[in-house]
Every structure is written in structure tokens, then in C-alpha cells.
Chains A and B, each alone.
Chain A
Amino acid sequence: MAAFGVSCGAAASYRLFLGGRVSFARGQGLWKAAAAKLQRSLGCQILRLRHTTVVTTRKNVTALRRETYTVDFIKKQIEEFNIGKRHLANMMGEDPETFTQEDIDRAIAYLFPSGLFEKRARPVMKHPEEIFPKQRAIQWGEDGRPFHFLFYTGKQSYYSLMHGAYGKLLDVENRQDQLRAKGLFSEKTKAKDPIGSRWLIKEELEEMLVEKLSDQDYAQFIRLLERLSALPCDEAEEEFVGRFRRSVTIQSKKQLIEPVQYDEKGMAFSTGRGNRKTAKAEVAVYDHGSGKIEVNGVDYLLYFPVTQDREQLMFPFHFLDRLGQHDVTCTVSGGGRAAQAGAIRLATARALCSFVSEDQVEWMRQAGLLTADPRVRERKKPGQEGARRKFTWKKR
């Protein structure tokens, strides 16, 4: 007891000794104090605490100029690429004349196998135009006069685009005025824009113009195009606007709908698969039935005693208002109680797609019934008690 008190007292005095100096370099001092204490407890010779001032100066980082690639350099790279392509074809034993980019990719993947996960970090051999960023050539001639009339604005491509678009807008309005003056103007309702296209995003526009844009510039440009597209346009103007629209694949079309199958008795049924965490389920939904659900040969009331799980099973039917109309037979393995319920729910929703209209499939997709839940258990990390939970922080 006395020895304990002595060591405590020593520790306390040690802390007091450091107290004056801790304020100088707080984190450092504390760590060194802890290290010194550890050494002391181990019985080693205590090293004298040395407070070194770490001089951190702001290094003048010169603005990194973008590497300019000259035209000759790019040409040389292209020549080297072509020669290398022929060598590669010879190496692979193929015809150098008909060696396409896909062949090159396959050859490189074979010759330089890489286990890196990041696809962009793997070795690649592509045409120099795709690798080196597009750059502006010199903007003025030998006498120093710039080529473009908006050169002195700084953003010549962007402003010339705005100028052109505004000019087209004025033309359309003039035409409308002329028609109105002649009395031939008819209020045509424009065909609604198909949902399958979107405006260019800012990065795509920057890439097209080879110029940096600000958000306000981009917003202004889109506003001008919207205004232009709202008026009755000619084909030339439509084509101009079409250059800045990209098509968008509608998500729901990607949904695979299982075909309806028929068993020996002539009963229509459809199968579906689903998984959740580690549980996998295969389900057969019969068209006409009384709402019976059989899981692994056992009634669902016995297999899932918890109400929550049974609610999960019923959700697809409840959503489509087909509660007592289908019979379900399913097999499920793996996972726990809730995971199995989730897997069966996903499988039944997928199976029901074949009995239901396309609009309802889209509604189901938007409700989240057709999306596999990607959440899995996060691993425990060393130095922590769980995946996220850290050990209790002890001040001393």
C-alpha cells in the first residue's frame, strides 16, 4: 500500500513537473510524457525530455503550370504508338494491319497482368489523342493578330457560342414577327421534349470548348438554350440545340422480366431469385391461389414466428393489391431470420413482375421493391472494438 502510494505520488509529481511545459507543445508533450512514463515503469533509464521546436515554414509552392505539349511532341508520340502497335501485333502472332484497339487492350492485359483494383491504374496503351489532354494551339498569327474576334475576352469559345445562340434566338423572333405581320402566325404547341435526353453537364461542355467555365456561365448558357428551344424553331436551330443534348437511358427498361411458365396442371407460375446479406431465396409464385406461402416445406406462420418478417413477405402483394390472389412456394438458405425474409421479399417482387403491367413494374422499382439491398456486415477493424466503435478513451 505504501509502495503504491509512493509510486502514485511520484507519478503525480512527474505530471506536475511537466505541467509547466505542456502548454508549449501540447500534443507532443503529452505523448512524450506518456512515453517517458512507460520507460520509467519498465525500469529503463529515463531519457531527458527534449522539446524540439519543429519549424514549419510555408514553402512557396510555385503555381504548377500545366504541361504544354507541343505539336511535334504529339506527332512523335503518335508515330511511336503506331510502331509499337505493329510490334505488339507481331508479338501476339497477329496481323499488324488489322490490329484494333480491343486487340491491343487484350494483348496488354495478357502481357502485363495486374492485380490492381483501380482500373485506371493498370497499364494501358492507347492513342496519344486519348491520353494527352487537348490543348489550345497558339491563338495568333505571325503578325500577332489573334485569329478569333473575341480573343480579348479570355473565354473566346464560350462567348462565341453565346453570341451564336443569341443570334439564332433573334432570327427566330424576327421570323415570328414577320409571320405575325403577314397574319400567318399560328400558335403551334411544340411537341413535348422526350424524357430520354438531358442537357450537357458542365464538365462535358468544358471538354467540348477546351476552356474552363464557372457555374454561372454554365447556368446562363443552359438558360439561353432553354429559351431558344421554347420557341418554334427551324431544322437548323433544332440541330444546333440537339448538339447540346445527350440521351439518357431510362432506368426501368433495364429490368429483366421473367417469362411466365406453365406446370403440368396448366397452372401459370413465375420464378424469382433474391438475396439479402448471406441469405439466398428462390421463389415460385402461382397465378391463381389463395394467399398461401410455403417456405422450405413449412407454412410461413410457423417458419417466421415474428410479425415483422411476415409483413416483409406480404409487402409486394400489399403494394400491388393482390393480397389473397397468389400462392407462393419458396426455398431459402443462409443468413438469419430477417435476412431470409428480405431475400424472399425481393424474389417474390421479381417474380410478380411477369404478372403485372409495365407501369406497375416502374412503381415497384420506385418503391424499392426491385432493388437488392447491398448492405452487408462491416468487418471489425484492429485497434477498435467493433466496425465503428472505438475503445473507451482514457484520459490517463
Chain B
Amino acid sequence: MVPGSVLPRLLGAGVRRRPLQLHLVQTATPGPAGPSGRTLGSAAASAAREPERSSDLNERILSEPLKHFDFFNVKELFSVRSLFDARVHLGHKAGCRHRFMEPYIFGSRLDQDIIDLEQTATHLQLALNFTAHVAYRGGIILFVSRKRQFSHLIENVARDCGEYAHTRYFKGGLLTNAPLLLGPMVRLPDLIIFLHTLNNVFEPHIAVRDAAKMNIPTVGIVDTNCNPSLITYPVPGNDDSPVAVQLFCRLFRTSIRRAKEKRKQVEALYRLQGQESSKGRGPADPPSPGVQAELDLGHSP
């Protein structure tokens, strides 16, 4: 249905720039008291304290994962060996090499470039971590690719995650002129994942440039003939072998799913916490250790 709130229209900005916020069912029961609301007061005062408490917990839910380097433990999903087995290290011939990919190339064997998998592992960990954080905060992820061979696979992966895909002809102003093409108050993607940075004529995909224009962070698998400059989290690797593409799809899907499940768990725990404290205890109790422990234990999925 039509969203009820009518946001004031900024000059020329028809796109909704919503911060990634927590959307919770506002429970009527008072949650655990935050650091500020410890005073015993009337019902009105306690009612005023509830949004404080919930916003405190919201902030904690959102900020806690940011304190850890690898909150979702994406490092365990792959290893250099598994990347090697999936032929991620194979690049194109030396003649196709892009100048900016030279730092990522280990060397060349029989005129074929070999990508440095140690660097790939580091970059991939950063990229998966970022993807997981975006999914945890309820962001829109768009998978983009223009290789017809893998179009069906990528669309299936996106649908399984509950995210979005665009493996078809990219219309010119889709990101930059979104209010006209997609609708007046459309929400743009919060992350774009490129499984193939080039389009069918071996030119950089338009979405790379447009995402940079619209300040949308990008994750991209860059082969030795691609330009990694405009991509926020480039992952040097092979994008032509089916095995490699399937591996990357699996990795992205697993990390997104993990993050979403984690989020559901944390929210459920918060709700449980709120109900427990409303039943037995008073409003002046400190927050139960359960929620804190869940937020701290980032490492167990």
C-alpha cells in the first residue's frame, strides 16, 4: 500500500535516502532500563522511558557488530586451497591485462596471468564481511552481471537470499534517473555486487560508474582485463570459469543468509528480553546478560 508518511521533497532529490534503521514491532511492554532511566516513577514516566530503552537497544544491536573485525566469521567459508581448486587464480592472456590489475597479479605462466590468491583471500574476506554487515542492517543488495551463461544462476541466487538481481540489459538512467524509471519514491540499492564487471562488448558495466555517482558502495569480482578503480571492494579473481562463479555465488549467498539469521536471532532475543522483564521484574533492573552475551558472541553463527 502507499506509505503513509509524506516526506518533504528536497530540491531535485526524489530518491528516498533512508538510513538503514531498525524496524521493529513497537512492543507496549517496557524493556530493560537503559543507562539513563533508572528512576522509579509514575506510569507516564515509564512509558516515556520505553522508546529510550528501545532506541538504546537498537543502537546496541546496530553498533555491536561493528566493534569486531569479523563478526560473522566469513573467513571460515573459504581458504586459499578452495579458491585454487575452483580455478579462481586463472586470469586472461598477458595481452588482455589491464594496467591497474598489475598489483594483484602474481605472475604469468605460458603467457596466462595468474592472480595472487593471498591478496584475493584478504579482499574477499573484506568484501564478504561488508556484504554481511549490509544484509544484517536490512540493506538492499543488487547482483549485477552481464554474462548470459550465468544469468539464470545469479537470478536464482538472488531470489534464494531474498535480495535482487539485474542480469539483463541495463537501461541508461536506472540509478541516476531512478524516480522517472522506477517510480517516484523508490529506494535505491545499498550495495551492488558485480559478478562480472564487463559487459558483452568487454567494456566496463555502466552500473560501476553510476553506483560511484550515486554513492552506492560496490563489491566486484575483477578479472585481469577489468578496471578495479571505481569499485569499493574489488576482489581479484577469475570470472569466466563456471566453477569459480558458482563458488563466489555460494559464498555471497551463505554470508547474506548468515547475517539475516543473526539479525533475526538478536531481534527475537530482544523481544524475549522485553517480555521477561515486563512479567516478573521491575522497571529498574539492569539489562539481562542474555542479550549482551548474544551480541558479544559474534563468532558462533
Residues of A at the B interface (CB closer than 8 Å) are 70-71, 137-140, 142-146, 149-155, 159, 163, 166-167, 170
Q: Is B166 an interface residue (CB 8 A)?
A: yes
A152/B16 contact (C-beta < 8 A), A144-B187, A145-B140, A163-B155 known: no
Q: Is B138 an interface residue (CB 8 A)?
A: yes
Q: Is the CB of B165 within 8 A of A149?
A: yes
Q: How far is the CA of A213 from the CA of B196 in the complex (A)?
A: 26
**Contact partner, B138, options A70, A143, A155, A166, Cβ 8 Å:** A143
Residues of the B chain whose Cβ atoms lie less than 8 Å from the Cβ of A137 = 1
Q: Is the CB of A140 within 8 A of B186?
A: yes
Most buried by A among B3, B138, B162, B168: B168
Residues of the A chain whose Cβ atoms lie less than 8 Å from the Cβ of B281 = none
Q: How far is the CA of A154 from the CA of B173 in the complex (A)?
A: 11
Q: How far is the CA of A145 from the CA of B190 in the complex (A)?
A: 11
A167/B152 contact (C-beta < 8 A), A151-B182, A154-B174 known: yes
A-B contact pairs, 22 of them (CB 8 A): A71-B1, A138-B183, A139-B183, A140-B186, A142-B3, A143-B23, A144-B16, A146-B140, A146-B187, A149-B159, A149-B164, A149-B165, A150-B165, A152-B174, A153-B168, A154-B174, A155-B168, A163-B152, A163-B155, A166-B152, A167-B152, A170-B152
Q: How far is the CA of A143 from the CA of B140 in the complex (A)?
A: 10
Q: How far is the CA of A170 from the CA of B174 in the complex (A)?
A: 30
CB-CB nearest in chain B for A143 = B23
Q: Which B residues between 11 and 52 are near A, CB-CB below 8 angstroms?
A: 16, 18, 23
Residues of the B chain whose Cβ atoms lie less than 8 Å from the Cβ of A138 = 1-3, 183
Residues of the A chain whose Cβ atoms lie less than 8 Å from the Cβ of B3 = 138, 142
In this complex, the interface size class of chain B, counting residues with CB under 8 Å from chain A, is 20 to 34
Q: Is the CB of B155 within 8 A of A152?
A: no
Q: Is the CB of B164 within 8 A of A152?
A: yes
Q: Is B181 an interface residue (CB 8 A)?
A: yes
Q: How far is the CA of A167 from the CA of B155 in the complex (A)?
A: 11
Residues of the B chain whose Cβ atoms lie less than 8 Å from the Cβ of A166 = 152
Residues of the A chain whose Cβ atoms lie less than 8 Å from the Cβ of B168 = 153, 155, 159
Q: Is the CB of B181 within 8 A of A154?
A: yes
Q: How far is the CA of A155 from the CA of B170 in the complex (A)?
A: 11
Q: Is B179 an interface residue (CB 8 A)?
A: no
A80 to chain B, nearest CB (A): 22
B14 to chain A, nearest CB (A): 13
Q: Is B81 an interface residue (CB 8 A)?
A: no
CB-CB nearest in chain B for A216 = B169
With contacts A150-B165, A170-B152 known, what are 7 further pairs, Cβ within 8 A? A146-B164, A149-B158, A149-B159, A149-B165, A152-B142, A163-B152, A167-B152
Residues of the B chain whose Cβ atoms lie less than 8 Å from the Cβ of A151 = 164, 182
Residues of the B chain whose Cβ atoms lie less than 8 Å from the Cβ of A146 = 140, 164, 186-187
Interface string of B165-195 (1 = CB under 8 A from A): 1101001001000000111001101000000
Residues of the A chain whose Cβ atoms lie less than 8 Å from the Cβ of B189 = 152
CB-CB nearest in chain A for B16 = A144
Q: Is B163 an interface residue (CB 8 A)?
A: yes
CB-CB nearest in chain B for A137 = B1
Q: Is the CB of B182 within 8 A of A154?
A: yes
Question: 3 tightest CB-CB pairs across the interface, nearest first?
Answer: A144-B187, A149-B159, A153-B168
**Contact partner, B166, options A70, A140, A143, A152, Cβ 8 Å:** A152
B17 to chain A, nearest CB (A): 10
Interface string of B138-167 (1 = CB under 8 A from A): 101010000000001001001100111110
B55 to chain A, nearest CB (A): 18
Residues of the B chain whose Cβ atoms lie less than 8 Å from the Cβ of A170 = 152
Most buried by B among A139, A145, A166: A145
CB-CB nearest in chain B for A145 = B140
Residues of the B chain whose Cβ atoms lie less than 8 Å from the Cβ of A71 = 1
Q: How far is the CA of A142 from the CA of B1 in the complex (A)?
A: 8
A142 to chain B, nearest CB (A): 6
Residues of the A chain whose Cβ atoms lie less than 8 Å from the Cβ of B140 = 144-146
